[in-house]
Structure 1
């Protein structure tokens, strides 16, 4: 008998940088293929899933603004980058026999549906993987905030942030050998200690709506399904 699953519906946040693999730019087909395999595995096990993908592997609005570009223009370019990444993920999922829908927070009808909350919920209830693109559709808001917002809107049981580190540490483990990993944190601890988990707006939104957040290492194959089975992997952020 298969192990019972702990969650019914999840929202997965993937950074654009996660899609690069070892490259400096763009999308590594092997990486996006492996991620698609894990997402499909979870969906076929009965978990309803939505995904928010960043665009930092192509454009990052804040970085462009720091280089002198108008911030609003830069953020709109970043939103379009997330649409490109979502389309790439949709292709990877569908080539593996899965079903996915790209839903954009900005109107771009030739390539994606508009994000409509009730339609998004219907997609995931029907077993489709909903790929939420273009952030919140507004400048100055990160895709972390978009992930927290979409998780609350679709009634997810858990928000997952996939990273290249196995949780949240007291300091950057790549630079500080004595850094230790937190198993659990509260939302207020993340904000007060200024831990680089998600931006403050995203953490506050999770706190205000009681949305648990788990940060885990996406580079370890099978971690997503292990979490679905209730294994304690990475760092959990909640109100307790």
Structure 2
């Protein structure tokens, strides 16, 4: 049997991905599908951690644009990620998987505080670790949280789950002639403003040589395919 290409991964899930076609809230069929795919990967011996966004519930940037204090709006967004993390934890545990939610904002009743060494120990015990509340700081996105946690736990790769099958030079949903990139360098993502992740996250990945694979989450089995090294999506690296 072929061995997985990656041994320790960070799966980045946007809040919008959890909402499905509704655009808001949590679509339980999608949640169950993600949980099923994660369990499939863990059974290969891969250590899996997940960073969840909160855009299906609240977006700090949009709140700030309407006149709300930016820090307050961002903290609200962090709380939204905790809601999504608990929902994903429940879905994974329904599949028989051991999990831990670790929050960058302390809330002992629902999640462990994020401690780097403890997170690594959970992964070594084959528990799925779900990182919630971003970095715990306003003005930083959950993309940046994914890059930061990946560097801290020495992950092999960040898997960026999207609703499209890779990175394009323009929006493929609006432009049928959009060109898909098979491979990209970090500096190209920054220079071309391709929107793989924000510039802070991209720079952090570049400085720490953390590869990123952008792939289509809507097709079941794609997490397994990426982990096994199949050529799907867009690979971002040096």
TM tier, shorter chain?
Answer: over 0.9
Map 1:28-107; keep pairs closer than 5 Å: 28-107=27-106
Match of 1:203 in 2: 202
CA deviation map 1:93-117 (0-9, x unaligned): 0011001100000011110000000
Distance, in Å, in 2 between the alignment partners of 1:6 and 1:80 is 34
Which range moved further: 171-180 or 155-164? Answer: 171-180
Where in structure 2 are there 5+ consecutive unaligned residues?
A: none
Q: Structure 1 length normalisation: TM-score?
A: 0.98
Map 1:183-194; keep pairs closer than 5 Å: 183-194=182-193
Shift of 1:24: 2.9
Does residue 129 (structure 1) correspond to residue 145 (structure 2)? The answer is: no
Distance, in Å, in 1 between the alignment partners of 2:119 and 2:3 is 26
Shift of 1:80: 0.3
Does residue 161 (structure 1) correspond to residue 134 (structure 2)? The answer is: no
Shift of 1:230: 1.1
Does residue 223 (structure 1) correspond to residue 226 (structure 2)? The answer is: no
CA deviation map 1:21-75 (0-9, x unaligned): 1213110110000000001110111000110000000001001101111110000
Shift of 1:171: 0.6
Q: Structure 2 length normalisation: TM-score?
A: 0.99
Match of 2:232 in 1: 233
Map 1:11-22; keep pairs closer than 5 Å: 11-22=10-21
Distance, in Å, in 2 between the alignment partners of 1:230 and 1:131 is 23
Where in structure 1 are there 5+ consecutive unaligned residues?
A: none
Distance, in Å, in 1 between the alignment partners of 2:66 and 2:38 is 36
Match of 2:107 in 1: 108
SS at match of 1:151: helix
Distance, in Å, in 1 between the alignment partners of 2:23 and 2:50 is 23
CA RMSD of aligned residues (A): 0.6
Distance, in Å, in 1 between the alignment partners of 2:35 and 2:155 is 20
Distance, in Å, in 1 between the alignment partners of 2:177 and 2:228 is 31
CA deviation map 1:110-165 (0-9, x unaligned): 10000000000000110000000000000000000000000111010011100000
Distance, in Å, in 2 between the alignment partners of 1:183 and 1:25 is 31
Shift of 1:5: 1.1
Equivalenced residues, count: 238
Match of 1:7 in 2: 6
Does residue 27 (structure 1) correspond to residue 29 (structure 2)? The answer is: no
